[in-house]
Amino acid sequence: MSDVTKLRAAKQGLGVRLDREVVGVSVKTSGAFSRAHLLIDKKTSREYVGKIYALEDPMTRVLGAREFECLNRLHHNNVVEMVDAVVSDDHLVLVTERLSGNHLLEEVLLGHTWTEAAATMLIKEILEAVAHVHDEGIVHLDIQPDNIIFPRGTSSRSAGLEGLMKALSSLSVDTAGAGGRSDLGVVSCFVKLTGFSMAQPVGQRQGLHMASIMPPALWCPDFAAPELLRVTNAIDTNEDNSEINITFAADVWSIGVIAYLL
């Protein structure tokens, strides 16, 4: 069975959740292996992101199929949602919700400081997202501030999230001073984990959750676990990396670095 056939079969299980006509209006980003377009639902004006993989290239075909498999498993308030997927002989389009808001690093650079209690609650949100990812048999491999977003203009999906925002509001400190920022993303919305380009489904081998890492190793080195840096070095030097064990612990390391940053 070809990769395209497998994707079409998998999409049948996903179902067509985006059943209205959408139009692409601009290119948001363009990377080495995919490009992202802003999509707008003509009837509702709701915005989505369409990530396009060209399937004629073996590398992009594998990367696109892998990201599709990961996103298709994930359904959690704190994880970006894939709403549809479109596949042809030439392209795969992964349609996700559009998250409009600051990344975690932007919040830090804009003068937002967390008390220890607020940082603890923020890390708890991230841990809940990652716990769901791991429960679904996926290792993220690129947990970093750029992939943690505070969406704006979205409603809380549960009373628990509203309670979290009220608690964070009393614990947060705006260090920008008088005339500074008054709309801190962290107190107005909840956390979403994004950036699943490097994510991989994992299997079990010798009692460990393992992932077979293949190029490209595009995770952020500042937040990557030591074993991921060993993989990067092995790829750069054309050495065998098959004996390097990658487990869910790699994601936990990255969360620890983020906690230190806060």
Q: Which residue is listed with tokens 């984990």?
A: 193
Active site residue 142: yes
Adjacent-strand bridge partners of 97:
48
| pLDDT of 260 above 80 | yes
Angle at 47 between CA 99 and CA 5, to 5 degrees: 90
* Least confident window among 38-47, 55-64, 119-128, 203-212: 203-212
Q: Cα separations (Å) of 147 from 90, 173, 191, 229, 255?
A: 28, 23, 10, 19, 12
**Where in the chain are the domains?**
22-97, 102-172+186-261
From the list 142, 222, 236, 240, the catalytic residue is 142
* Model pLDDT, residue 167: 47
Dump strand ranges (E) for 55-106.
82-87, 91-97, 101-103
Interacting residues of 106 by C-beta distance below 8 A, sequence separation 6+: none
pLDDT at 15: 37
Chain segment 39-50, per-residue pLDDT in tens: 888 888 888 899
Distance of alpha carbon 6 from alpha carbon 11, whole angstroms = 9
Contact yes or no for 91/52 (Cβ under 8 A): yes
Quickly list DSSP for 218-235.
Answer: -S-TTT--HHHHHHHHHH
Element (H, E) at 162: helix 159-171
Beta bridge partners of 84: 95
The number of residues making up the chain comes to 262
CATH of domain 102-172+186-261: 1.10.510.10
Rounded to two decimals, what is the model's pTM? 0.75
Confidence of residue 204 (pLDDT cuts 50, 70, 90): low
CATH number of 22-97: 3.30.200.20
The first and second tokens of residue 155, run together, are 């409603």
The predicted-structure confidence for 75-97, as pLDDT tens digits, reads as follows 999 999 999 898 888 889 999 99
Cis omega before residue 215 (within 30°)?
A: no
pLDDT per residue as tens digits for the range 100-157: 888 888 877 776 667 788 788 889 999 999 999 999 999 999 999 999 998 875 433 3
Q: Which of 168, 172, 193, 199 is nearest to 64 (CA)?
A: 199
List all residues 6 or more positions away from 194 whose beta carbon is below 8 Å from its beta carbon.
80, 99, 147, 148, 149
Q: Position of tokens 């479109």?
A: 86
